[in-house]
Amino acid sequence: MALRVAVIGSGPAGIYTAEALVKQSLEPVRVDVLERLPTPYGLVRYGVAPDHTSIKSIANYLRRVLELPEVRFLGGVTLGPHVSVEDLLGSYDAVVYCTGAMVDRKLGIPGEDLPGSVAATDFVNWYCGHPDVDPGRFTLDSPEVAVIGVGNVAVDVVRVLAKTADELRATDVPHDVLERLSESQVKAIHMVGRRGPEHAKFTLKELRELGDLANADVCVRPDEAVVLGGDFPRQVQGNIKVLQSWAAREPVGRPRRLDVRFWLRPVEILGAERVEGLKLERTRLSEEGRVVGTGEFETLPVGMVLRSVGYQSVPLPGVPFSEQTMTVPNEAGRIREREYVAGWLKRGPTGVIGTNKSDAAETVRTLLADLEGRERVAAESIDALLAERGVRPVTYAEWLAIEAAETELARSLGRGERVKLVGLETMLRACRP
Ligand SMILES: Cc1cc2nc3c(=O)[nH]c(=O)nc-3n(C[C@H](O)[C@H](O)[C@H](O)COP(=O)(O)OP(=O)(O)OC[C@H]3O[C@@H](n4cnc5c(N)ncnc54)[C@H](O)[C@@H]3O)c2cc1C
Ligand SMILES: NC(=O)c1ccc[n+]([C@@H]2O[C@H](COP(=O)([O-])OP(=O)(O)OC[C@H]3O[C@@H](n4cnc5c(N)ncnc54)[C@H](OP(=O)(O)O)[C@@H]3O)[C@@H](O)[C@H]2O)c1
């Protein structure tokens, strides 16, 4: 009998896990990939910025895994409301949880919950057309916006704010979102780092792209671009060089302006009914290397604050979870007997898409070594169980029908290769006419 494995989540970690199972297993294997959305690929579809088309094309590689005869995609099936850990352990020899990191980290400052204070997770979901977020959710009616954090997600968010709607027209951004972007009143964007240029988390290629924006001048204050010491890794040296070159140039009057700021930490989001400003405190590093305030404050007159300070995982019902690391405790991917973890849920929300490949391969090595020579469990049928509960999974063929509808929508609108369909009902109507 084939080894039967359930992979929960169809982001890069889930699909690389399925691939590693097929490649590494010496005996026949069957892998079901259960995904809460009708669509596969996780953050490749609902995270990678719409204008990063070459990165998005990684989906072409992931697609080939889902098309392997040993692998089956079951969309619209959520661990929690639809199936429990017990159901999975009754139906499969092993389960690998790959549900990523879906929510934002909190800043823990006053005013964080005011209207206009927005988690980057929500904003990214919005421009990526995630079914959890209504396309009408955001109106960019404020001329000044702050983005807190200097990681690659902050850079993505800044780029989408800085570009014109026309520049994003050929991407897969949902049409309603594109219309909102075309009405944007944003003139000034402040990207704020709590430490110096040498500590920024963005990568050089992503940073450089900001300097090439046709619609925005990028400005850095010379005093904030000063970096002491010089023994930095190449990437960091590159970042510093680029930032210092921007500090030396004058704005040329482009319609929007991006200020990249350093050594400022957010202390309060100001406003009575909604965001009216962001209070920042200048910082320095203590002798122990911690960020400390200097008691010198400044206020940015922004009407929107985008908090891009990292993602975090959420506990899955019935699965161990550490509130300290916000990950699932594991040893080389093993959680406990027959249960495993891979991807952001395993190691936290860092690393690029490719990092999940080696990560998944490690988990699969552990799983196969543990299960070698073990008797297979008398498997119940997950299909029968789902049918009993009235859950009809979205098949891979149905997902292809959603894709085809997105291609057709792009054609009818005269836009690029694909325009995202938004909303579960719309997607289901497209694949089950
Ligand atoms: C905004 C953003 C942009 C990024 N851009 C890039 C980039 O340009 N290049 C790059 O290399 N890396 C990028 N990354 C990093 C990359 O996306 C991650 O390394 C990768 O997606 C993590 O993979 P994962 O499978 O662990 O999680 P995810 O990709 O988040 O996949 C998790 C999947 O699990 C599903 N799921 C969640 N809960 C359940 C449940 N209860 N039941 C069933 N399914 C569930 C989700 O719907 C999702 O499909 C970006 C990350 C972010 C946040
Ligand atoms: N194009 C790409 O390749 C791409 C695109 C998007 C994302 N990704 C990857 O996805 C992962 C997640 O990216 P991310 O940008 O969400 O996370 P990240 O790289 O961890 O960056 C988070 C940023 O938030 C700051 N921050 C955290 N807490 C803060 C606080 N309380 N106050 C102020 N600032 C705070 C951090 O500053 P400190 O350093 O001081 O903590 C850091 O600048 C990364 O590995 C990233 O490279 C890649």
How many Cβ atoms sit within 10 Å of the Cβ of residue 396? 17
How many Cβ atoms sit within 10 Å of the Cβ of residue 234? 8
Q: What is the pLDDT of residues 245-283, one digit of tens each?
A: 999 999 999 999 999 999 999 999 999 999 999 999 999
For residue 153, pLDDT over 90 is answered with yes
Mean pLDDT value across the chain: 96
**Between 136 and 407, the higher pLDDT residue:** 407
- What are φ and ψ of residue 28, in 5° steps? -60, 145
Mutate to test the pocket of ligand 2, among 51, 157, 201, 352 (most ligand atoms within 8 A of CB): 201
In this prediction, what percent of the chain has a pLDDT beyond 70? 100
For ligand 2, say whether the CB of 281 is within 6 Å of any of its atoms: no
pLDDT at 433: 82
For ligand 1, say whether the CB of 34 is within 6 Å of any of its atoms: yes
Nearest C-alpha to atom 28 of ligand 2 is from which residue?
309
What letter represents residue 148's amino acid?
I
CB 226 within 8 A of CB 198: no
pLDDT at 376: 83
DSSP string, 379-414: PPPHHHHHHHTT--PBPHHHHHHHHHHHHHHHHHHT
Ligand nearest to the CA of 353: 1
pLDDT at 230: 77
Q: What is the pLDDT of residues 69-100, one digit of tens each?
A: 999 999 999 999 999 999 999 999 999 999 99
For ligand 1, say whether the CB of 311 is within 6 Å of any of its atoms: yes
CB 95 within 8 A of CB 6: yes
Q: What is the pLDDT of residues 162-175, one digit of tens each?
A: 999 999 999 999 99
* Strands ordered across the beta sheet of 256-261: 117-119, 304-307, 144-148, 188-192, 256-261, 216-220
Q: What is the pLDDT of residues 178-234, one digit of tens each?
A: 999 999 999 999 999 999 999 999 999 999 999 999 999 999 999 999 998 878 999
Q: Which residue has the tokens 């988390």?
A: 201
pLDDT at 142: 97
For ligand 1, say whether the CB of 99 is within 6 Å of any of its atoms: yes
Residue 102 C-alpha to ligand 1 middle, in angstroms? 8
For ligand 2, say whether the CB of 107 is within 6 Å of any of its atoms: yes
How many Cβ atoms sit within 10 Å of the Cβ of residue 241? 12
End-to-end Cα spacing for the chain: 37
As a whole number, mean pLDDT of residues 332-361 equals 97
Sorting pLDDT into bands at 50, 70 and 90, what band is 375? confident
3-class SS string, 250-309: CCCCCCEEEEEECCEEEEEEECCCCCCEEEEEEEEECCCCCEEEEEEEEEECCCEEEECC
Ligand nearest to the CA of 108: 2
**Between 374 and 355, the higher pLDDT residue:** 355
As a whole number, mean pLDDT of residues 113-117 equals 97
Q: What is the pLDDT of residues 18-49, one digit of tens each?
A: 999 999 999 999 999 999 999 999 999 999 99
d(CA 433, CA 421): 15
Nearest C-alpha to atom 31 of ligand 1 is from which residue?
11
d(CA 64, CA 15): 10
Sorting pLDDT into bands at 50, 70 and 90, what band is 235? very high
pLDDT at 81: 96
Sorting pLDDT into bands at 50, 70 and 90, what band is 1? confident
Mutate to test the pocket of ligand 2, among 309, 313, 355 (most ligand atoms within 8 A of CB): 309
For residue 379, pLDDT over 80 is answered with no
Strand 277-285 vs strand 264-270: parallel, antiparallel, or unpaired? antiparallel
- What are φ and ψ of residue 25, in 5° steps? -70, 130
3-state SS assignment for residue 369: helix
Sorting pLDDT into bands at 50, 70 and 90, what band is 378? low
Name the token pair of 246. Answer: 């921007």
Residue 71 C-alpha to ligand 2 middle, in angstroms? 33
Bridge partner list, 74: 34
Helices (H) and strands (E) in the chain, counts: 15, 17
For ligand 1, say whether the CB of 193 is within 6 Å of any of its atoms: no
Mutate to test the pocket of ligand 2, among 123, 152, 355 (most ligand atoms within 8 A of CB): 152
pLDDT at 108: 96
As a whole number, mean pLDDT of residues 138-164 equals 97
